[in-house]
Structure 1
Amino acid sequence: MDRAAPAWRAARLLSAPHRLGFAVGAAAMGLLALWWLGVLLARHLGVALPWAVAPGLAHGLLFTLGFMPAFMAGFLFTAAPRWLGRPALDAHVLLTALAQWAAGWLLVLVGVHAGPWLAALGMATAACGWLRLSLRFATLLRAPGAHARWLLLACLVGVAAMLLACLSLLEADTVLLRAALRLGLWGFIVPVFAVASHRLLALAGAAALPMAGGLVLAAAADVGGLPPWLLAPPLAAASLALLAPALRALLLGRLAGESRRLLAMLQGGFAWLGLAMGLQAVSLALQAAGRAGLGATPLHALTLGWLGCTLMAMVTRVAAGHSGRPLAIDRLGWALYRLLQLGVLLRVAVALGLTAGLLPAAALWAAVATAWAWRQGGWLGRPRVDGRPG
């Protein structure tokens, strides 16, 4: 029997941490993308769905914390041992904790429609699973470097955000749930992506200061409490300092062909990060002038744009490299990436009020997420194409 015939084999997914983590993350991302598309389609058709949690908050909770950590686990437990000079980790030791995390989020997905107690139970289960993974990561750090220390701290903040979300669901406290989402995004997801980007991309090293400073300012603006006129000017400066080199590198990468597309994808994420900071600066300037800000526009540029592009590029890079494939993006991969850009532009346009209806943007995101997840799943479930183990 040809060993490469089945695309999904449990033994193959357990052969390396990135295979297991990426497979769980891809499945969760595709499921949630289809769920949200179904929600918007039902709304468009006038079908009333039951909600135990407000739709916007349910969307924010599931899309902020419901699939990214699985990708992070695959990345951290593959890359960190190499960074720290430790032996490669056996994926079997992650299986039960990652399964617990995934089962928790399935309960949350059902609970946002069926009842807050079920959603809270799911959050508690997911938090326990992520705590186990974080403690496992801590065991690798006997002599941690700076990157690893920041990553561990961010992972523990992620546990706190999930527990806070659990409490907010139990208390039906929307203010507390929004606080949990902000903590999860700015204290967990964004720092991990920033550290990983700095580690992997030369452009991030050159722009480390504006990236770090801009993210801190953007977080302060999103959380609130500081006057807009104080935050807008330095945030605009950070945006320009990051956006100009990112766009230049992206243009050069796109002109260089397949061999440079992967790097261009990573740099394209930084272009969205700079744009998100610029949009936040404009929003703050409008508020300082007594006018309405841009609402969730900067947030979607950050999450769908920077996080989405970076996730697609990093996971493709790791999956291709560890499956014996060349680190180049073929036509299908590049087409999916370009569709992602269109989806982000549509979502930003909706947030700006330039076009009506979330359904086209959600349909594009669902198409990209499911097609990309299916392709990555095919890679992860097969042996290496060069015949090497792992």
Structure 2
Amino acid sequence: MKACISRWASEPFRVFFPLGMLAAIAGVMMWPLLYTGKLGFYPGEAHSRVMIEGFMGAFVIGFLGTAFPRLTGNASWSCGELVWMILLWATTVASALNGQVLVADTVFATLLLLLSSGMIGRWACGNRDTPPPGFVMALAGILGGALAAGLLAWNQKYPLGFTSYQFAKLWLNQGFLLLPLMGIAPYLLPRFFGMESGHSFHDSPTPPPGWWPRFTASVICALLIAAGFALEAFGWSLVGHVLRATVILAWFASETPVFRRGKLSCTPGNVARFAVVALILGTAAAGLWPLARVGSLHLFFAAGLGLAVLAVATRVVLGHGGRHDLLVGRIVWLRIAAGLLVLAAATRMTSDFVPAVRVSHHIYAAWIWAAGGSVWLIFVSRYLGRGEEEPS
């Protein structure tokens, strides 16, 4: 058991990826429970917290907890860090599922501060290698997410001004997830297509030549995303959405090969392509159709961020499970899972444009998304306990 916990501490994705998907399934099923009279409260805020802090949060924690110590040449998590992370995450999810949003936000802010302090501490104290320049965006997303969650918890007792509240909500619901994804994408996505990354440098305790321009571009990109949130919070919704959609498009087009022909064709790469398109279209649609904003943003969340999570997590699990052979070519079960997530997003989006089917499409979308998540979890679970050195 001790060896198993040590392995989880060095590769926390093995714990957090399946937990995150289970949280997501529980989160979407809150809507069928509501409409069948089995949930005693309206789950609007609670549902979003389960999906953001529980589902997406688990994948951010699992990925960065595994990758960041390796990329900086420092020690992996201790068993104590792992236990604290699991306890804080589980408390966050349990609180959100019970409608205790204040508790969920407070605990989640604490969790993100612990995660970010571990990243900063390893980089500052160990400093054996410089992380990829885009990872500054991941750190900004996490620190901003901690501040936003704390402010939203504070708002439960001491109401913030409208603009501050909107900005905090936008950062937690979108910035916390979008910025880490944009930060790791230039380093990770080229590998999906058998191409070299412009954000990958030789080991160096100090920033190597070419690192600072990429770092500067990453900071500017993060600031533009933040500016988009600020514009929306101040009432310039369309301008804010268009700015963010443009920045997302420009960043992925210039820093990753998702819009170019790769050397390899594989299912995770194609899923990542669909994810980026959904991020752009969902963001733009939310600005163009403000009366259907929530439904349009589900294209951003359920299809965009959801597909990105599936693509990256699949590569991480199969790579660490010694099944690099499966990463080239077709992965049928990943195609099925991704297709179901896209269908769920389209179904949920339709409900805002056709009010007569709102309730039924909420229910259908929840069941479809849960089915897609279940397919992914069932098939990927066989590789979660397998190491790179173990025979397939």
- Normalization by structure 1: what TM-score? 0.75
Match of 1:50 in 2: 40
| Aligned-partner Cα distance in 1 for 2:375–2:354 | 29
**Superposed displacement of residue 262, structure 1:** 1.6
SS of 1:294 mapped into structure 2: helix
Match of 2:276 in 1: 270
Match of 2:118 in 1: 136
Match of 1:368 in 2: 372
| Aligned-partner Cα distance in 2 for 1:323–1:18 | 14
Which deviations, in whole Å up to 9, do the C-alpha atoms of 1:323-349 show, x marking residues without a partner?
101223521122111222211221222
Asked if structure 2 preserves the Cα contact closer than 8 Å seen for 1:239 and 1:274, the reply is yes
Asked if structure 2 preserves the Cα contact closer than 8 Å seen for 1:23 and 1:377, the reply is no
Asked if structure 2 preserves the Cα contact closer than 8 Å seen for 1:40 and 1:359, the reply is yes
Asked if structure 2 preserves the Cα contact closer than 8 Å seen for 1:16 and 1:89, the reply is no
Match of 1:190 in 2: 178
| Aligned-partner Cα distance in 1 for 2:304–2:43 | 24
**Superposed displacement of residue 234, structure 1:** 5.5
Mark the CA change 1:183 to 1:15 in structure 2 (over 3 Å): closer, same or farther.
same
| Aligned-partner Cα distance in 1 for 2:114–2:143 | 10
Match of 1:351 in 2: 352
Mark the CA change 1:295 to 1:318 in structure 2 (over 3 Å): closer, same or farther.
same
Point out the more displaced range, 96-105 or 214-223: 214-223
1:77 matched to 2:77? The reply is no
Mark the CA change 1:121 to 1:386 in structure 2 (over 3 Å): closer, same or farther.
same
Which deviations, in whole Å up to 9, do the C-alpha atoms of 1:61-83 show, x marking residues without a partner?
22122232221122113222343
1:61 matched to 2:67? The reply is no
Asked if structure 2 preserves the Cα contact closer than 8 Å seen for 1:131 and 1:156, the reply is yes
Correspondent of 1:27 among 16, 19, 22: 19
Mark the CA change 1:237 to 1:151 in structure 2 (over 3 Å): closer, same or farther.
closer
Work out the number of aligned pairs and report it. Answer: 356
Asked if structure 2 preserves the Cα contact closer than 8 Å seen for 1:239 and 1:278, the reply is no
Which deviations, in whole Å up to 9, do the C-alpha atoms of 1:236-288 show, x marking residues without a partner?
76687689999x967978xx99x5222111111111122123314523xxxxx
Structure 1 residues without counterparts, runs of 5 or longer: 1-8, 284-291
Correspondent of 2:233 among 211, 223, 235: 223
Point out the more displaced range, 86-95 or 232-241: 232-241
Mark the CA change 1:223 to 1:14 in structure 2 (over 3 Å): closer, same or farther.
farther
| Aligned-partner Cα distance in 2 for 1:102–1:232 | 30
- Which structure is richer in relative contact order (CA contacts within 8 A, separation 6 or more)? 1
| Aligned-partner Cα distance in 2 for 1:232–1:32 | 26
| Aligned-partner Cα distance in 2 for 1:134–1:237 | 28
Point out the more displaced range, 216-225 or 304-313: 216-225
Correspondent of 1:300 among 278, 298, 301: 298
SS of 1:201 mapped into structure 2: helix
Amino acid at match of 1:57: E
Match of 2:334 in 1: 333
Mark the CA change 1:171 to 1:14 in structure 2 (over 3 Å): closer, same or farther.
farther
| Aligned-partner Cα distance in 1 for 2:198–2:294 | 29
Match of 2:150 in 1: 163
- Normalization by structure 2: what TM-score? 0.75
Q: Percent identity?
A: 21
Mark the CA change 1:352 to 1:243 in structure 2 (over 3 Å): closer, same or farther.
farther
SS of 2:134 mapped into structure 1: helix
